[in-house]
Amino acid sequence: MASVVPFCAIRPTRDKVSLVATRSYLSYSDETLNEKLNNNPFTFLHIINPDFYEKNKAKDYSERFNMVRAKFEDFNNKGVFISDNKKQFYIYQKIKENGHSFIGIIGASSVEDYINGNIKIHEQTIEKREHLFKKYLDITGFNAEAVLLTYPNHNTIDKLIEEYSNKRAEYEFTTTNKSLHKLWLVNSDADISTIQTAFSEVDNLYIADGHHRFASSSQLYKDKNHINPSNKDFCMSYLIAEDQLKIINFNRLVKDLNGLSKDEFLIAVEKKYTIQKVEKAFQPKEKDEIAMYVENQWYSMVAKSEFVEREDCVEKLDPSILSKNILSPILGITDPRNDKRLSFVDGSVGLKDIENKIDGKEFELAFILKAVNFSQLKDVADNGRSMPPKSTYIQPKLRSGMLIYNIND
């Protein structure tokens, strides 16, 4: 039984939403970030980077987060934002240039559900990052990036979303990457009740993206006075059905062969994988198959069955098989998360671009993996396990600053 409730969002005015809402600032290069801050006075990036124009930069995180809060209040006082006066749900749709559409409901999900295990995780968090974001939430008093949650398709929710998608949206704008964004307000008491009842029939929700945000919200919740209910009891979430989720692969690029020649490396790999040369770049499709590119040659590699732990939901995944049989014993990469010889690139980067990185000697070899599917991710979460580092790149990625959750309300 999932507890999902409406909330009063703080959000940009209709005339400014396209200027305010932004991708996560971490996704921008320094050059692009500077360009956006210089040329758009309304971008939410000014709130996240409050000392951009200041000669004296913030000395520590506490000072920086207080500056974020002050800049947010400045935007509010200048009329950039409005505050909804009725608790409601929001339906958000993103349509990419290629026509792929994501649509779901933005509401507030129960932190108690997370603590009790009714909201499942598939990724371990880093405690230091948890504490830092909890401090950010505590000082700024708001959260501008919803956690991405997914749930089994539900006919009632699907029908309601379809009804709203045929109405005029409150927000409708296109961004420079040619994605179309729409937002509908769900403030009818009957529709609000329908959504809450439907989610109460869902046994479990699954975090697709935003593990650290939810973990930090739970820390904030544990510190609060539990006499009176408050917004700290919930975490702003974007809930989409399982069939809406898109999981993209993460590929691996390695700086060197750990002192081995190409022939020595291939001999070592052949003990664990069946290797076959192929003429050109390809995306692997077969069970336990990965692609490899080294010294101007592509290879198809299928793991030998005796080196795959079929009964283990994590160890049978391609990233685990690769790490256990090649990265660690042959290439000496025992800590994939932190080893500087290993880089990860998501599947949106073309194979030709990866070839160029190898041919240009930026890296020595590349491993191309299949995307983990949702049933595999769900299996890992249901068993209380964690995916290997950089196993999934999950879409949609949400814009920051389109809806803001007031933690102290």
Determine the Cα–Cα distance for residues 292 and 255; give it in Å rounded to an integer.
14
Determine the Cα–Cα distance for residues 183 and 13; give it in Å rounded to an integer.
12
Assess whether pLDDT exceeds 90 at residue 11.
Answer: yes
Q: Which two tokens stand for residue 196?
A: 């809450």
The domains of the chain, with CATH numbers, are 4-247+395-406 (no CATH), 250-370 (3.30.1760)
185-196: average pLDDT: 98
Specify the pLDDT at position 42.
97
Count Cβ atoms below 10 Å from residue 70 Cβ, excluding itself.
12
Q: Which two tokens stand for residue 390?
A: 């950089």
Specify the pLDDT at position 223.
86
Specify the pLDDT at position 377.
93
Residues 6+ positions from 343 with CB-CB distance below 8 Å:
252, 253, 254, 255, 363
> Binning pLDDT at 50, 70 and 90, where does residue 279 land?
very high
Specify the pLDDT at position 58.
87
By CB atoms closer than 10 A (0-12, 13-18, 19+), residue 16 is: middle
Cis previous bond, 396, omega within 30 = yes
Helix-then-strand count for the chain, H and E = 13, 21
> Binning pLDDT at 50, 70 and 90, where does residue 227 land?
low
Specify the pLDDT at position 393.
86
Q: Which two tokens stand for residue 11?
A: 């959000």
Determine the Cα–Cα distance for residues 153 and 340; give it in Å rounded to an integer.
40
Dump pLDDT digits (tens) for 302-316.
999 999 999 999 999
> Binning pLDDT at 50, 70 and 90, where does residue 282 land?
very high
- The b/e string for 331-354 (b: 16+ C-beta within 10 A; e otherwise) is bebeebeeeebbbebebeeebeeb
Specify the pLDDT at position 391.
86
**Residue 25: C-alpha distances to residues 30, 47, 71, 110, 262 (Å):** 10, 11, 16, 27, 40
Determine the Cα–Cα distance for residues 94 and 237; give it in Å rounded to an integer.
15
By C-alpha distance, which of 168, 171, 190, 195 is closest to 182? 171
Quote the distance between the C-alpha of residue 208 and its chain's center.
Answer: 7
**Residue 122: C-alpha distances to residues 118, 198, 205 (Å):** 13, 24, 12
Dump pLDDT digits (tens) for 75-132.
999 999 999 999 999 999 999 988 899 999 999 999 999 999 999 999 888 888 899 9
Specify the pLDDT at position 387.
86
Mean pLDDT of the chain: 94
3-class DSSP assignment, residue 308: coil
274-289: average pLDDT: 96
> Binning pLDDT at 50, 70 and 90, where does residue 226 land?
low
Specify the pLDDT at position 376.
93
Dump pLDDT digits (tens) for 360-399.
999 999 999 999 999 999 999 999 998 888 888 898 988 9
Quick one: what percent of the chain has pLDDT higher than 90? 84
268-285: average pLDDT: 96
Q: Is the pTM of this model over 0.85?
A: yes
Q: In this predicted model, which residue has the larger pLDDT, 73 or 346?
A: 73
By C-alpha distance, which of 297, 270, 300 is closest to 368? 300
Q: What is the DSSP letter of 387?
A: P
> Residue for token digits 């080196």?
307
Handedness of CA 255, 257, 263, 267 (dihedral sign): negative
Angle at 338 between CA 379 and CA 64, to 5 degrees: 100
Q: Which two tokens stand for residue 409?
A: 């309300």
Contact 405, 142 (CB under 8 A): yes
Specify the pLDDT at position 173.
97
